[in-house]
Structure 1
């Protein structure tokens, strides 16, 4: 079930990304930078659990193509703070709009008790306490 749900959940965004020469790694970066404006590269690496080399390739392309901007940290100049550009916000909206609608439709059909059960299952699948802590007291 998880495979089929994931396939359908990612299908439409994958098409949009492919038309622009981008892939799921680009989508993940755009998504999290959109959720946490001004996040550091280090924070993004911690969330994605990928190598610096992998992120560098994806991030460089997104910066070069105008989806993400990087600024030096004001306290620590070695930090690179990431934010979506206007073009990046539009891409994030385009990619996640259908996904949000799909989830909302499923939540409405399942009802609140099922949604809470689903949340418990998702938290149970996560390996890291740090990742689970991100969702403590947050209904999303």
Structure 2
């Protein structure tokens, strides 16, 4: 009887671990500190070559987080405009080569001023300009620090 009960517990634990693992893999679990997210991956994301959106932001300190790859826009221009903020930055895509002995791979990141300070709650308009590269995928988040 004890062995049978222990087997049921082991199965339940295994199922819970599998659900937790696969649940985090599908991207449905959001970063609770992310107040804005967009994945730009094709020309339909842009109007006139530029992505725009509006959202409400609270007072505080924030930072951009990017998920780029080698096909992402070489220059990504982002502006935030609201009642008390005027922000504009050109982020430059930088690749860092890594040697493994038999191959080379790259990691990618955008360099630029990622910090944002918001002095009061307000509606802001974000504009993301890929400077002509509408096909290169990139995800952009604004994270509360």
TM-score (structure 2 length as normaliser)? 0.23
Q: Which structure dedicates a bigger proportion of its chain to strand? A: 2
Structure with the higher helix share, 1 or 2? 1
Greater relative CO, 1 or 2 (CA 8 Å, sep 6+) = 2
